[in-house]
């Protein structure tokens, strides 16, 4: 995310606002002109404050290590998605992924190695879904992917594909090549359910898939 300096062009999701120079005052202005100048100066300060707040809010939704949505950002996106599904009857599926063997990597090679592996997973997930889909780190070594315009059968195929994509990752760490497995559970979104219910069902589906893989 870009950190913007004063009097630079401020960028939002859909608009660009050019913040002009603050109006300057001098003793030659009359009382009315000085008042107008002060009002304009305060308006500019307010615009700057609003953009700074928006920037901080956006940062709060992003994982600082992986540069994808974090749990807070994902939960907000899931709430919006459920409302959209309810209103427009659109098909969408949540894929909930847990990395298999990640703790062993952390314990043996350290957190820096684990972080490198997490970054590789995030990049690979983002590059293997559509721009309209949503990828997030739910927490620790858990990832969530929202697939739009996909039914349950299509999502099941995609989930298996994402498992294979993750299993093919190799991250060099000294003489070692680090890798992990992945278990992905799926849950179709319904406008009649809640975010908590969706995540509970996704967690159960993921653990059922993990048991299936270990059998």
Return the bridge partners of 139, or none.
Answer: 142
| Catalytic status, residue 203 | no
Per annotation, catalytic residue among 141, 151, 196, 203: 141
CA distances from 59 to 1, 55, 67, 111, 175 (A): 8, 6, 9, 23, 36
Distance CA(48)–CA(54), nearest Å, equals: 10
Q: Which of 124, 136, 107, 192 minimizes the C-alpha distance to 161?
A: 124
Q: Which DSSP letter does residue 62 get? A: B
What number of H helices and E strands is found in the chain?
6, 8
Number of C-alpha atoms within 13 angstroms, CB side, residue 19? 21
Residue identified by tokens 């299993």 is 167
Q: Which of 139, 128, 141 minimizes the C-alpha distance to 183?
A: 141
Distance CA(111)–CA(33), nearest Å, equals: 61
| Phi-psi group of 94: left, alpha or beta (phi > 0 → left; psi -120 to 50 → alpha; rest → beta) | beta
Residues serving a catalytic function are: 141
């Amino acid at each position: 995310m870009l950190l913007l300096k004063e009097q630079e062009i401020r960028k939002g999701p859909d608009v660009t606002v050019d913040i002009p120079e603050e109006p300057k005052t001098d003793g030659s202005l009359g009382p009315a002109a000085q008042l107008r100048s002060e009002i304009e100066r305060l308006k500019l300060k307010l615009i700057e404050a609003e953009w700074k707040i928006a920037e901080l809010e956006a940062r709060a939704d992003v994982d600082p290590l992986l540069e994808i949505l974090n749990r807070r950002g994902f939960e907000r996106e899931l709430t919006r998605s459920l409302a959209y599904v309810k209103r427009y009857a659109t098909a969408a599926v949540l894929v909930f992924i847990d990395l298999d063997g990640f703790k062993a990597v952390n314990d043996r090679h350290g957190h820096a190695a684990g972080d490198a592996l997490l970054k590789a997973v995030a990049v690979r997930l983002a590059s293997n879904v559509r721009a309209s889909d949503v990828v997030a780190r739910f927490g620790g070594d858990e990832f969530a992917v929202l697939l739009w315009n996909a039914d349950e059968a299509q999502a099941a195929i995609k989930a298996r594909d994402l498992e294979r994509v993750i299993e093919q990752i190799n991250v060099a760490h000294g003489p070692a090549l680090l890798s992990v497995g992945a278990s992905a559970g799926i849950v179709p979104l319904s406008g009649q359910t809640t975010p908590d219910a969706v995540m509970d069902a996704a967690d159960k589906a993921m653990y059922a898939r993990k048991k299936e893989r270990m059998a």
